[in-house]
Structure 1
Amino acid sequence: MRDKRGRLWRVARWGLCLVLVLALTGAALAVWAVRRAFPEYGGTLTLPGLSAPVTVHRDGYGVPQIHARTETDLFKAQGYVTAQDRFWEMDYRRHLTSGRLSELFGGSQVGTDAFFRTLGWRQVAEQEWRLISPEARGHLQAYADGVNAWIADNGGPAATGDKSLEYTVLGLQNGGYTVAPWDPVDSIAWLKAMAWDLRSNLSAEVGRASLLAHGLTREEIAQLFPAYPYDRNRPIVDDGTSGVTATSAAVPPRRVLREAGPALAALRALPNLPGLLSSSGAGVGSNSWVVGGALTASGKPLLANDPHLSPSQPNIWYQVGLRCECRLNVQGFSLAGLPGVMIGHNDRVAWGLTNLAPDVTDLYLEKIDGDRYFDGTAWRDLTIRQEVITVAGGAAVPLTVRSTKHGPLLSDRSAELFGIARHQAAPGPTPSLDTEAPGVPAAAAPGPYGVALRWTALTPGRTVEAVFALNRAANWKEFRAAAALFEVPSQNLIYADVDGNIGYQAPGRVPVRGKGNGQWPVPGWDPAYDWTGYVPFAELPRQFNPPGGVIVTANQAVTGPDRGPFLTGDWSYGYRSQRVLDMIAERASRGKLDLEDMREMQFDDRNGFAPELVPSLLAAEGVTTAAARARELLRGWNFRQPADSAAAAFYNASLRHLLLRTFDEVPDGQKPASGDGSWEILRPLLGKPSSPWWDDRTTPGVESMNDMLVAAMDAAASELTDLLGEEPDEWRWGDLHTLTVRNATFGQSGIAPVEWLFNLAPVAAAGGTDLVNATGWTPEQGYEVDFVPSMRMIVDMADMDGSAWVQLSGNSGHAFHPHYGDQLELWRTGRTAPMPWSAERIRAGAEHTLTLVP
């Protein structure tokens, strides 16, 4: 018996040992699979074609500082080093911009590919390659050579885990994929994706037409798109510097008819394609400001910038420093895949960007007869382009792209992809439009139609040259010359230099319209609605050393209503910009400002509308006992929204339910969001307790403002009790308002282990929509953060070594790498990392040094 037990014990012991060995082997293989793509940050590597060795110092956050002899060597090294950290991101993005995601992910992406091929970004990028200067082509080619050298060093065309963990996962579903060489046009095409994200009011234009088709009146729609509050929130250029009279404030078209329903409904379906027609209002914003030396402790300007974008992993920005024994010495935030620095400073000049958001898109209703369209004088042949979408693991998909003189027919794509009846199958009256009042039906001749997009980014330009020119600019004159090349996307550019000057320039290709103001679709068959040209650069607003010594851009109106060329009628409403101006004025009244003041202002979380709404919430009568207990949180609240605020949790939950209930007649997907647009909608209603908007049209009674406020607070208290517990004092805004930084490709795969590999763990976020710390959320979707300050930068023109920066996650795109998410906690808590500039400070902070040799 004892021998038998001994044998069993030995067998069990050997079995346990085998399990342990297998577990350890599996763990070792997992670690190897994850770490095999981690790049070499130290030692010596060969980069063919260099004229001399290149040194790459990396600091404690993995930020490379590259020093080369020539510009060609510098950009070649930048391509190599960026690919070390971000090649999967670069590969994915070039497939996206070319409409080739199906080659990576199979048939699920055919719809997305068809849409982007219809826009034709790749074709435009190829035209721009031929348009730009030989010098710019040389820089792009050098960058591509560096990327391709990295590809050759890491498995060549084989899509293996040697390049990135994502390729290992991709191989499970698409084992036949091979990596193509990087082409300079791949770099240019990514600028089109940026322009699409920052395309201004296209969503608003579609939204107005869709609301009209849904049955809302023109007056109701106007209340949902209120005018900019010039009396309360200052524009950027408050004195009309350009002195040019508005040129395009024509009255919108009268008849956007119900017969336009199929094509406009097709466009409305486009949000089902991720990111294709996402809101470009509060979410696509940014903050930037520059304070002149008269107000600063150092006597030189301070410049701050934080662009607001959707969170993704890796972050859109790649931190880098570029120096050579030539004129180019610059550091800041680059885009992976594009040489140079997009936002940052050189040894003389600093600059920042926010979205100018001029109206650079128009939708044209087009009369269509087969493959012809009517241009107002005759029937013309549509421009037709045949393409083939290659699908991993499936049959190729043929695609026909049709365009009018205005641009591609977007209604073709959305109708095909979402089963909405195509205009060929939905004959009916053709819209007839005039200029009296939008949305009134009238008789029209029968005939099918479509909807075409005119967009400035579909005309070839030279924006990529602007990046190189900005990087070299040494003074205001050279800065403006660079800005003149910055055609698409149109951005607010702020400026500071070491001589103490500050400035602002609105660049970009802004259309001049005949009729119309860009807020409604217009008749493509009426030439009066065609664009007649672009606003000359000399007439675009600018400022240089304004008397007040402060310039703030935060997506507010650029000039007053009667000054400057017409840019758009759909601005953000200026709450963030006015808050920044007020904070600067308040701090300046107490003393000189320094970098710490800038940092605190960037993280400011005071809600700009709460002082208007909270008194009404406190005065409402008839709330439940639970809501009454929760409402006590608002008494004495300072209107700030740190992550640990109980009052902010209840306030925002009440606002959410108020918006959803008050605007129940507005269709899903178009209800007012949580930002300053909804604040401007609600503001006048708080003084109209019997407004029809307060009535719940699903009930037989007629509700008042008090009824809606009570219902919203009751619903909020019930929701937070379910989610956060019964004690209001223990509620926390950050427990609702969480941020999950998701991988752009596999982060929403629906496969939990894959998502765990690539996503960063959720964190509690402070701030909110259209607060200066702009962590946005959408009431129809809950409280989760859906756009963020994607980075923060503060440049001290008196001491560039004292400048500071941080990005959302980390500089590395490799999951589990130490720098994959090492900046997230800094970002979340309003802190920054050092942004060293001098060679001595860079060497002192270097944790790794890599030498690239010919």
Structure 2
Amino acid sequence: MKLALKILIGTLLGLLLAATAAGLWYISTKQPQRSGEVNLTQLSAPVTVRYDEYGIPHIKAGNEADLYRALGYVHAQDRLFQMEMIRRLAQGELAEVLGPKLVKVDRLFRTLGLRAHAQQQAAALDPQSPAVLAQTAYLDGVNQFQASHPAPFEFDLLGIPKRPFTLQDTLAVSGYLAYSFAAAFKTEPLLTYVRDELGEDYLNIFDLDWNPQGVVQKAGKTALTPQHLRPPEAVLSAAQTAPVDALGERFKAHQNAAMRAPSPDWQALSQLAQVSQEAQRLASVPLFEGSNAWAVSGQRTSSGKPMLAGDPHIGFSLPAVWYEAHLSAPGFELYGNFQALNASALLGHNSQFGWSLTMFQNDDIDLIAEKVNPRNPSQVWFEGQWVELESSEETIKVKGGKPVKLQLQRSPNGPIISSAFRDTLGDAPVSMWWTFLQTDNPILEAFYDLNRANTLAKARAAASKIHAPGLNVVWANEAGDIGWWAAAKLPVRPLYVKPQFILDGGELEAEKLGFYRFSDNPQEENPARGYIVSANHQPISTSGIPIPGYYNLYDRAQTLEDRLGNDELQWNQLNTESLQLSTQTAYFWRVLSPLMPDLSDVVRDPLERSVFDSLVQWDGQYTTPNIPPTVFTQFAYELTQAAMADELDKVQFANLLGTRALDLALPRLTDDEASPWWDNLHTDKVETRRDIVRTAWKATIAHLKKALGPSPNDWGWGNAHTLTHAHPLAAQKPLDWVFNVGPFPAPGAHEVPNNLSAPMGPAPWAVTYGPSTRRIIDFANVGKSQSINPVGQSGVLFDPHYSDQAAAYVIGGYLMRYFLEKDVVANTHDTLQLKPVPQKSQ
């Protein structure tokens, strides 16, 4: 009996050891190879890849084709699953591997037409252009890795088949990057509903007007006079200006056309915003949200050379958004931050120049309620006549379900976005006019050139090729120049048009008169004040053209402006870090100040009074031990809920919470004691501002006690505000324990410089976006440039570089980025040699 037991135990131990060995072997087959030798076809000479202590590759090649082929190979071995997910998202193919819950996401992106548009663009590219040659070599490197290695863990778990990556994939992903129109989807139905259903008195709290003087106070700013505000025709080239006679004829035809189309179902249209938000949540692919960037000339720095700082604000993901790599070939060198499936860096620097990006936030989307021919439902009104809708059919493959057929339609204005969502949007056709689909948008060429733009003229020319999404390019060079260009194709709309609302396709308001010239975009080069700030705020239009947009609060930009405009400061690495990590703006006081008399009257409980007193004395810092930021953030939500939820249905209110329009509206609401929003429509009583403040305060205290603990000592910001880097598979528990990184108590907050932002709602708050990197480049000492990745360089589970920067990131750490050859040599931890396939093996 004892022998049998020993045999059983031995057998079980043997099986356990065998399973452990098999598991370790399986894990080892998925890990990136960072040392030794690898043979690649199409290489003309060996390429050396030296990895530093954070797994960042420093690639040295004899020519550009080999350089980009090597970049594609090493990028793929760290991020292949990310590449797969983002191409499937952009082309509407997620349900094929993730199942029926992703059908809505696929329907959205198929309806937007990114797949078809990318196919057309790819066919039109010049295969011999330098940008296309670089991209083709990069994709070949990606495909060689995929073909020669076991699939990533996630491919095995989901059953994802391998297939080559193409230029079409890259171009479709560029359409996803232009997905800044999420603001339009959320905001335009909401504002239209407020205007049409509630009335102008309710619309007053929303800041919808263009501010010709700008929104940020600058020292020595030159005011724009009325004569600067020229009509659109004055800044168009002759070829772009629509003939006045033609417009007049179309207007007459319009007057004689059938009756104006009925108003669309605004409430149904609000569902589109929910679909858009759900797409982001389910796909777990990050969205561009905002950003800070500034350039300081040598006259204001300790070193006497320009400094460049940038931290693009993007949705957090795992793996992280950016892949860092240092590229070197004869005549070309760059340290860059790359996105999946793009051979050119979107952020970068070398010893001569560097640049950062922020979102322009210009409105490049119009939602248009099409006017349908009552005698022929397949026709809509366009430029004075009835025109046929284009129709097509697509099929979405669904894992574990039946294929879904889509009947898609397109008007001359753009895709009919309602056609694939009739279950929520109804039959009223609503189209989407989008700059991205209406221009050539040579995005590959734009960033290929920007990667080589060592002069103002070259940087300006590269920026002019960016049509959509709208981006602010903030640039500096070692020679002493600094510059900023708002890069976008700006549509010319009739001056009376307010594109924040859904436009009527039966009216001239939906028509475009062309595009403005790039020289008319907001921009500055070497301003006398010696610095440039870009923080998603409404810029001053240097040509006087009003530029509609969904701009962010100006408070963040004002904080940067106030510090950078201080003539007593000389800028260096340390105080630049301090500014990037600042957690303070004046926004909280703009919201609270008008309410302080009411709050003082309604807060009577001694414990609550102590909380109120700490709020009065708060300096606005969102640091982790601080209690007032928790109280203010909860109170802002409760105030919004008490004041505005009764006028809006559940979906509209949810959309409101996710818009920048609310950020701008709250200070205007609290400052207007007579606003109709204060009255609760669900009661017989007419509520006042004080009544709503009382309700909001009581709800704030009650919720914080329930959610965080009975004592205010439990309400520290770090207890309520946390950052978790979530993997796309983490929604399937218990995989979150395996793949996710965090949670970490997080400083910062929505729209402070350290913009670690969570959606408005009740505590606790999970941070969803923030600085996707923090970069600081001093052109007096480029070899000591610093940056940080929010989580890690690698997307491969169990790789040491999967999460090795996460702890440093959240507390505001910076890491040295090696650029000089001596530093690269001194800090090389592993070396991978990529070699041509021997001739006899080919």
Report the TM-score, using the length of structure 1 for normalisation.
Answer: 0.87
Q: Deviations over 1:217-237 (max 9, x none)?
A: 133124234546757624899
- Which secondary structure does the structure 1 equivalent of 2:429 belong to? strand
The 3 A distance-change label for structure 1 pair 852 and 301 is same
- 1:752 deviates by 1.4
Partner of 2:789: 807
- 1:51 deviates by 1.0
1:852 corresponds to 2:831: no
The 3 A distance-change label for structure 1 pair 632 and 240 is closer
Q: Is the 8 A contact 1:237 1:541 kept in 2?
A: no
Once the two structures are overlaid, the 10-residue window that deviates more, 534-543 or 778-787, is 778-787
Q: Is the 8 A contact 2:463 2:485 kept in 1?
A: yes
- Which secondary structure does the structure 1 equivalent of 2:338 belong to? strand
Counterpart-to-counterpart distance in 2, 1:262 and 1:720: 33
- Which secondary structure does the structure 2 equivalent of 1:299 belong to? coil
The 3 A distance-change label for structure 1 pair 707 and 765 is same
1:734 corresponds to 2:718: yes
- Which secondary structure does the structure 1 equivalent of 2:747 belong to? coil
Partner of 1:286: 291
Partner of 1:600: 578
Superposed, 1:243-254 pairs within 5 Å as: 245-247=229-231
Counterpart-to-counterpart distance in 1, 2:282 and 2:648: 18
Q: What are structure 2's unaligned runs of at least 5 residues? A: 234-253, 255-259, 837-842
Partner of 1:443: none
- 1:246 deviates by 4.9
- 1:258 deviates by 4.7
Partner of 2:761: 780
Q: Is the 8 A contact 2:361 2:549 kept in 1?
A: no
1:611 corresponds to 2:592: no
Counterpart-to-counterpart distance in 1, 2:310 and 2:468: 20
Partner of 1:168: 156
Q: Is the 8 A contact 2:316 2:769 kept in 1?
A: yes
- 1:257 deviates by 5.9
- Which secondary structure does the structure 2 equivalent of 1:203 belong to? helix
Q: Deviations over 1:458-508 (max 9, x none)?
A: 133201111110011110011111111112211011110001111111111
- 1:90 deviates by 0.6
1:381 corresponds to 2:388: yes
Report the TM-score, using the length of structure 2 for normalisation.
Answer: 0.88
Partner of 2:164: 181
Equivalent residue for 1:145, pick from 140, 162, 173: 140
- Letter of the 2:290 counterpart: G
Q: Is the 8 A contact 2:186 2:658 kept in 1?
A: no
Counterpart-to-counterpart distance in 2, 1:373 and 1:676: 33
Partner of 1:399: 406
Q: Deviations over 1:513-568 (max 9, x none)?
A: 135131222222335531111111122122111111110000111115x9532321
Partner of 1:654: 635
Counterpart-to-counterpart distance in 2, 1:14 and 1:241: 91
The 3 A distance-change label for structure 1 pair 556 and 222 is same
The 3 A distance-change label for structure 1 pair 727 and 349 is same
- Letter of the 1:163 counterpart: A
Q: Is the 8 A contact 2:51 2:829 kept in 1?
A: yes
- 1:272 deviates by 5.8
1:77 corresponds to 2:57: no
Partner of 1:174: none
Partner of 1:127: 120
The 3 A distance-change label for structure 1 pair 223 and 689 is closer
- Letter of the 1:358 counterpart: N
Q: Is the 8 A contact 1:304 1:794 kept in 2?
A: yes
The 3 A distance-change label for structure 1 pair 674 and 831 is farther
- Which secondary structure does the structure 2 equivalent of 1:638 belong to? coil
- Which secondary structure does the structure 1 equivalent of 2:618 belong to? coil
Counterpart-to-counterpart distance in 1, 2:193 and 2:230: 28
The 3 A distance-change label for structure 1 pair 237 and 181 is farther
- 1:24 deviates by 4.6
The 3 A distance-change label for structure 1 pair 238 and 536 is farther
The 3 A distance-change label for structure 1 pair 247 and 88 is farther
Superposed, 1:614-629 pairs within 5 Å as: 614-615=592-593, 616-617=595-596, 619-623=599-603, 625=605, 626-629=607-610
- 1:407 deviates by 0.6
- Letter of the 1:694 counterpart: W
- Which secondary structure does the structure 2 equivalent of 1:387 belong to? strand
Superposed, 1:441-480 pairs within 5 Å as: 449-459=428-438, 460-480=440-460
Counterpart-to-counterpart distance in 1, 2:678 and 2:329: 63
- Which secondary structure does the structure 1 equivalent of 2:341 belong to? coil
Once the two structures are overlaid, the 10-residue window that deviates more, 232-241 or 710-719, is 232-241
Partner of 2:689: 705
Partner of 2:249: none
- 1:650 deviates by 1.8
- 1:584 deviates by 2.2
Q: Is the 8 A contact 2:118 2:171 kept in 1?
A: yes
- Letter of the 1:36 counterpart: T
Partner of 1:437: none
1:539 corresponds to 2:520: yes
Superposed, 1:395-794 pairs within 5 Å as: 395-415=402-422, 419-420=423-424, 422-423=426-427, 449-459=428-438, 460-514=440-494, 516-527=497-508, 529-559=510-540, 563-586=543-566, 588-589=567-568, 591-615=569-593, 616-617=595-596, 619-623=599-603, 625=605, 626-664=607-645, 665-671=647-653, 672-673=656-657, 677-678=661-662, 680-743=664-727, 745-748=728-731, 751-780=732-761, 782=763, 783-794=765-776
Partner of 1:56: 49
- 1:256 deviates by 9.5
Q: Deviations over 1:803-853 (max 9, x none)?
A: 111122111111222111111112101111111211111111111111100
Q: Deviations over 1:720-777 (max 9, x none)?
A: 222322321342111111112111x3122xx312222222121111111111111112
- Which secondary structure does the structure 2 equivalent of 1:485 belong to? coil
Q: Deviations over 1:268-297 (max 9, x none)?
A: 55346323999xxx9821111111111111
- 1:631 deviates by 2.1
The 3 A distance-change label for structure 1 pair 223 and 84 is same
Counterpart-to-counterpart distance in 2, 1:582 and 1:12: 78
Q: Is the 8 A contact 2:758 2:767 kept in 1?
A: yes
Counterpart-to-counterpart distance in 1, 2:407 and 2:218: 44
- Letter of the 1:488 counterpart: A
Q: What are structure 1's unaligned runs of at least 5 residues? A: 1-6, 155-161, 172-176, 424-448
- Letter of the 1:165 counterpart: F
The 3 A distance-change label for structure 1 pair 263 and 677 is closer
Superposed, 1:816-835 pairs within 5 Å as: 816-835=798-817
Once the two structures are overlaid, the 10-residue window that deviates more, 771-780 or 660-669, is 660-669
1:323 corresponds to 2:328: yes
- Letter of the 1:208 counterpart: L
1:38 corresponds to 2:42: no
Superposed, 1:264-303 pairs within 5 Å as: 264-265=269-270, 267-271=272-276, 273-275=278-280, 284-303=289-308
Partner of 1:431: none
- 1:23 deviates by 4.5
- 1:210 deviates by 3.4
Counterpart-to-counterpart distance in 1, 2:72 and 2:762: 39
Superposed, 1:207-226 pairs within 5 Å as: 207-212=190-195, 215-226=197-208
